[in-house]
Structure 1
């Protein structure tokens, strides 16, 4: 087994339907990419606020029981959502969710993190769900945010026919494109490589942009899957969301440049808007 094939897909869960759907995605990715999967549940398992010294032994026993129950619930959810062919390891840790996810991803050298995004309320659309949004900001590896619409079965996995990969022709965007090409090959999907030309519609500008995009796409990506280039004029976030809707893309793969603002890492405006508003899954690939 090569070092790369041993890198797991990491799927945190809080036992919600959204997290279960993310486990379903993670299991399918692990199966198609021949990767193991680590299913993670993190909880602080805090004691009650008031207890006496004589209650300590009882408290320790109750916390141990809580961890045992959590582990069984994790095994049960993974069993429902992940194919038996996928090597799955359930992990329960006593910690806050975000630091546990970031730390375990680094310890296991996870290839990617797959998370559910709640995103139903108006507040969620303004501020992407707290745990997923913070992991997107802090992770140094790809993070897939998966959404579950109210009418969908969490155990259902969509047939991936179209993957959209928006690029700005920068060299640091190539890893996102190459990952998108790998996924397109794994799912026998069409890969649309999109470049948004931020200019008024003009045939000459669009022609030049298309030529630049075709020259930018490496031959290795072009020959590994069904790929075609798309150029659209306009504002990036708007055009990416429109392109995803019009092409019925099941997955958007895009490079993410983290920015430092007053010592806090933030997502770029385009990435944040796409992740919050896209109706399909979004895989953010950090530029390192």
Structure 2
């Protein structure tokens, strides 16, 4: 997070309105436990007053090289795999304590991340709920990486949860850089908290290492801008009376500092705003949201910048 951007577009625009469409649960039906995934979907649907739909995506099998030719895969094979995933998902919602067999289930064929993002936009979804694994390399390959790819493609907020995500989150930590996206992330996180919960707004300011007087002057001025900005965010959030809102400033690199604070505070949820990055930035630099999602030990809520918003992370 760099120096605070001009907060006026973020703080004085009308409060973000959650999309009216369903909460989409993305799964292939093979997770060891769907209880936390479906529980998070129930929480979101109750919070935003909407329904739940299950969406699975089968990645198509590419053709097999045979000499100089490419042998096409029979269409029946992709259809059989899609039917198998549909059956796995129906079984999952039936046996999970937090599932509901009446939830509609759709299985499509395509690139998982792009298909999830496009379907979420098509359905005007409120949120995409996805699983995230931490236990072994396969979890990181097939769980976390698909979630990361979806986050990069999606214009709809993404909630990534592990098996320990609580039914009623008590403490959410928000990475706040005073952009529109980060304020929207704070709003959504606050709405998902249980009564008596805490919302901690964390701003990560640059590490002070240079001894020059110019740097010291700039750093002092930077520090003076923060209290009024925090006050404006508090006013914009208009927090519920049963939610405690606190503000914290730490120094360091944005993602590691935010994650370290969240872990020390035993947070249930970390929320961040995101923006679209160029391909080079995604591959070489990455983003705060990407690094948080890779390392967080709690749920992660990533809220994309709204169309037309001027500020960024």
TM-score norm. by structure 2 comes to 0.72
Q: Note if 1:189 corresponds to 2:203.
A: no
Q: For residue 301 of structure 2, give the secondary structure of its aligned residue in structure 1.
A: strand
Tell me: CA distance 1:219–1:277, structure 2 relative to 1, closer, same or farther (3 Å).
same
Are the equivalent residues in 2 in contact too, given 1:213–1:229 (CA < 8 A)? Answer: no
CA displacement at 1:209 relative to structure 2: 5.4
Residue among 132, 144, 150 paired with 1:117: 132
Q: Deviations over 1:129-157 (max 9, x none)?
A: 33112101111111112223xxx6xxx74
Deviation at 1:245, TM superposition (A): 0.9
CA deviations over 1:40-66 (Å, ceiling 9, x no partner) = 12225759969xxxxxxxx77776665
**How far off its partner does 1:120 sit?**
3.4
Point out which structure has higher relative CO (alpha carbons under 8 A, 6+ apart). Answer: 2
Match of 1:230 in 2: 248
Q: Does 1:73 align with 2:91?
A: no
C-alpha change, 1:130 and 1:284, in structure 2 (3 Å) is same
* TM superposition score normalised by structure 1: 0.77
Matched position secondary structure for 2:125? coil
* Unaligned 5+ runs, structure 2: 1-16, 66-73, 210-215, 307-313
Q: Give the conservation status (yes or no) of the 8 Å contact 2:132–2:139.
A: no
Paired position in structure 1 for 2:159? 144
Deviation of the 1:172 alpha carbon: 4.2
Question: Are the structure 2 counterparts of residues 173 and 70 from structure 1 closer, same or farther at C-alpha, using a change threshold of 3 Å?
Answer: closer
The residue matched to 2:177 in structure 1 has which SS? coil
- Distance (Å, rounded) in 2 between the aligned partners of 1:127 and 1:209: 43
Question: How many equivalent residue pairs?
Answer: 271
Q: CA distance change for structure 1 residues 227 and 85 in 2, over 3 Å: closer, same or farther?
A: farther
Secondary structure, in 3 states, of the residue corresponding to 1:217? helix
> How big is the shift at 1:276?
0.6
Q: Please give the residue correspondences for 1:4-153 in structure 2 after superposition, counting only pairs within 5 Å.
A: 6-17=20-31, 20=34, 21-44=36-59, 67-81=82-96, 83=98, 88-121=103-136, 129-148=144-163
Question: For the aligned residues, what is the CA RMSD?
Answer: 3.8
Residue of structure 1 equivalent to 2:174: 165
Deviation larger for 114-123 or 173-182: 114-123
| Cα distance in 2 for residues equivalent to 1:218 and 1:109 | 28
Deviation at 1:87, TM superposition (A): 6.5
Distance (Å, rounded) in 1 between the aligned partners of 2:47 and 2:100:
11
Aligned to 1:54: none
**1:107: Cα distance to partner?**
1.5
User: In 2 relative to 1, CA 168–143 (structure 1 residues): closer, same or farther, beyond 3 Å?
Assistant: same
Listed as ranges, the gaps of 5+ residues in structure 1 are 51-58
Aligned to 2:259, which of 241, 249, 252?
A: 241
Change in CA separation of 1:19 and 1:242 when aligned onto 2, cut-off 3 Å: same
| 1:214-234 alpha-carbon deviations (Å, 9 max, x no partner) | 323142424323211112223
